[in-house]
Amino acid sequence: MQSFRTELENPIVEQDIIDLEKKIRAFREGKIHDEKFRSLRLARGVYGQRQPGVQMVRIKLPFGKVTFKQLLKIADIADEYGSGNLHLTTRQDVQIHYVSLDRTPQLWAELEQDDITLREACGNTVRNVTSSPTSGIDPKEPFDVSPYAQATFEYFLRNPICQEMGRKFKISFSSADDDTAFSYIHDIGVIPKINDKGERGFKVGLAGGLGAQPFMASIVEEFLPEDQLIPYIEAIIRVFDRHGERNNRNKARLKYLVQKIGLAEVLQLAENERKALKVKTYSINRDTVPPPALPAEIAYPEVTIDNPLRYEQWLITNVFEQKQTGFYGVYVKVPVGDIPTATARKLVDAIKPYVADEIRITQNQGLLLKYVKKEALPALYNGLTKLDLSAPGFDSPADVTTCPGTDTCNLGISNSMTLSRVLEDLIYNEYEEFIFNREIKIKISGCMNSCGQHGLAHIGFHGSSLKSGTRVLPSVQVLLGGGTVGDGIGRAAEKVIKVPAKRATHVLRAVLNDYKENSIADETFHNYYDRLGKDYFYQLLKPLADLTTLTDDEFVDWGHQETFATAIGVGECAGVVIDLVATLLYESDEKFGWANDAFAGRRWSDAIYHAYNTFISSAKALLLDKNINSSTQSGIIREFDNHYVSTGEISLPTSFNDLVLQINKNEPSESFAAAYIKEAAEFLETVKAKREELVQS
């Protein structure tokens, strides 16, 4: 493994990358357990692929914002280190596939030169903070949420409270009541509001999520003042870190903690954390996201539109007036979210004369271009047309959202990307009127985990399998009736029926035909679905589930030539719990070192939280010697008292509970940080001595 070069001005980032390289070396030398290393690399945006020996690297772009220069840098990186393709995600990230693990430190270092990070793009961390792509130009927005999303991203990046949670934590900022950032499926989702006094604040939804068991967020604040937002999020994350499930990753999201102990108890626990917060108020610098550089004033060229009808469709479906007078936003539909690097470079050249230097990645895997003059639209359209990026019907049924599925994901069961293209072609060729429908969303995931957001689709599919005799065939679970209602309210799609994957086209035809024939004038899809009921659609689609009429072709998945076989690997959507005593004690030493470093840097709150984690890791190590593997940090505290302090095996001046939970009974001051770190050091030495005693006995 070759050493890499850094030319970074930020010593924290540089040390982070150097640390990754060291950990890779240690892993290669067998000094770090595979499970622990997986957790470490995931928190640095490095995710295992379905294909052995290569990685997917996820690039974290706060609220999907990327400049021309950054996009070109990412394209260069994808050519140098990956497969020459950029994949846009539903969380406004960019993914690069087929990357060698040993080259990831150098890749990261080169990205950071243009202020692009991989840090905490995967793993048990605060994931990319998303927002409505239209934030800043949305005619309906009370104010631009971009600075708030940026501040949230910055505050929690490398924050000790969210580096090793039980699972991931997702935050979104919608620009208006339309809720285009889907607040209702996030751990914390917010919508901007202005109160009667003209003050800014947010409506807050808590503990939403999709996955195999979707939960809609609960509205917990109708108006949270803007300077309370980040402290509020921090308090919730502290509760999630301490009380959230850690052993069973299928029950480790915030939504399950709320389900287990109740919303009121979670909110009370968050209130109990307020004394320990780093800040009690947090004022947002509203200028932290400056307006993008506008295109230069030019004489726009006379152009000829080869297909005037298509151009008119594009104007209706992909273009809208910004709140800034005289400017237009332009959506770019990107099939399956894939942009080859050559196309990305040509795209920048094509759009640069006509749009602002800020592109936003959208939640349905497209792009939003800003500040286009009306006179520039024909030339911009022609430039996009040359790249096959001017298809009309953005965010319509002809714009299907999809995850990579079996193309690269370990968890994929059946193909989603080819199916997405097939369904889009079906809309364009057979239901062209639906390209003007901005209500109905079609979304596909390769498995039940809803990375393609099928759980919030009006018409959704997720990959599965069916058995016919001794043979297995690819199938899709059909879901109907999900989607955004608005102002923080959403609907989870209902599972209706499972059919062979090759019949997904017939499912779509059946539903759209019925909608055309049986919906009432101006009736929304939600009202149409509710009026007829789930069983109606089950009966409508039941003939398609008949396996007595199977053909050989239906045993071959979309986009494949070989007969289908289920091959599900180990998922890496979050890190795996480490149950190795020596590793935990090693981690305790490492966290104690971080506590001292933070204290030396006068970061009292960070130092205290690192010391807290020293207590937890050390206690867990000894509990494992008794084969006690508690699933929460609060459980570890309780069990350590029960099995070591109460029995007299470990002598402490007080209970372990009272010792550790000083953390939320004290302000994060210098004096408390010093005392708490000292107590953590004494406890760590006590644990090491006890461990040595057990090993020798």
Q: Where are the domains of the chain?
A: 11-112, 130-276, 308-386, 401-555, 581-696
Interval 494-521: pLDDT, tens: 999 999 999 999 999 999 999 999 999 9
User: Which pLDDT does position 414 carry in this prediction?
Assistant: 77
11-112 domain in CATH 3.90.480.20? yes
Q: What are phi and psi of 376, to 5 degrees?
A: -90, -10
Least confident of 38-47, 200-209, 243-252, 674-683: 38-47
Q: What is the CATH number of domain 130-276?
A: 3.30.413.10
Name the amino acid, one letter, at 373: K
User: Which pLDDT does position 567 carry in this prediction?
Assistant: 53
User: Which pLDDT does position 234 carry in this prediction?
Assistant: 98
User: Which pLDDT does position 152 carry in this prediction?
Assistant: 98
User: Which pLDDT does position 544 carry in this prediction?
Assistant: 97
Interval 542-581: pLDDT, tens: 999 999 999 999 999 888 877 766 655 445 554 333 336 7
Please tell me which residue, 573 or 582, carries the higher pLDDT value: 582
Map residue 557 onto helix, strand or coil. coil
Residues 361-389, mean pLDDT to the nearest whole number? 97
Torsion, CA 221, CA 664, CA 160, CA 685, rounded to 10: -160
Map residue 56 onto helix, strand or coil. strand
The structure tokens 């004494």 sit at 682
Percent of the chain with pLDDT over 90: 79
Residues 222-238, mean pLDDT to the nearest whole number? 98
Residue 25, C-beta contacts closer than 8 angstroms, at least 6 positions apart: 1
User: Which pLDDT does position 405 carry in this prediction?
Assistant: 78
Residue 597, C-beta contacts closer than 8 angstroms, at least 6 positions apart: none
CB atoms within 10 A of CB 158: 17
The reply to whether 11-112 and 308-386 are identical in fold is no
Most confident residue range from 18-32, 445-459, 660-674 = 660-674
The sheet with strand 218-225 has its strands ordered as 130-131, 171-173, 188-194, 200-206, 218-225
Percent of the chain with pLDDT over 70: 96
> Could you tell me the two tokens for 677?
């770190």
Q: Report helix angle 504-518 to 534-541, nearest 10.
A: 130
Per the CB < 8 A criterion, the answer to whether 359 and 366 are in contact is no
Least confident of 47-51, 247-251, 328-332, 531-535: 47-51
CATH (one of 3.30.70.3340, 3.40.50.150, 3.40.50.300, 3.40.50.720) for 308-386: 3.30.70.3340
Burial class (CB in 10 A: 0-12, 13-18, 19+), 439: middle
User: Which pLDDT does position 579 carry in this prediction?
Assistant: 37
Interval 101-157: pLDDT, tens: 889 999 999 999 999 999 988 889 999 999 999 999 999 999 999 999 999 999 999
Domain 401-555 CATH superfamily: Sulfite Reductase Hemoprotein, domain 1 (3.30.413.10)
Q: Which fold has domain 581-696?
A: Four Helix Bundle (Hemerythrin (Met), subunit A) (1.20.120)
Least confident of 36-50, 123-137, 286-300, 683-697: 36-50
DSSP state, 114?
A: T
User: Which pLDDT does position 2 carry in this prediction?
Assistant: 46
* pTM listed for this prediction: 0.92
Q: Please work out, in degrees rounded to the nearest 5, the angle formed at the alpha carbon of residue 631 by the alpha carbons of 625 and 637.
A: 70
- For residue 53, pLDDT beyond 50: yes
Distances (CA, A) of 418 to 250, 297, 415, 443, 682: 28, 42, 7, 13, 59
605 Rama sector, left if φ>0, alpha if ψ -120 to 50, beta otherwise: alpha
User: Which pLDDT does position 517 carry in this prediction?
Assistant: 97
Going 416 to 421 to 427 to 432, the CA torsion angle's sign is positive
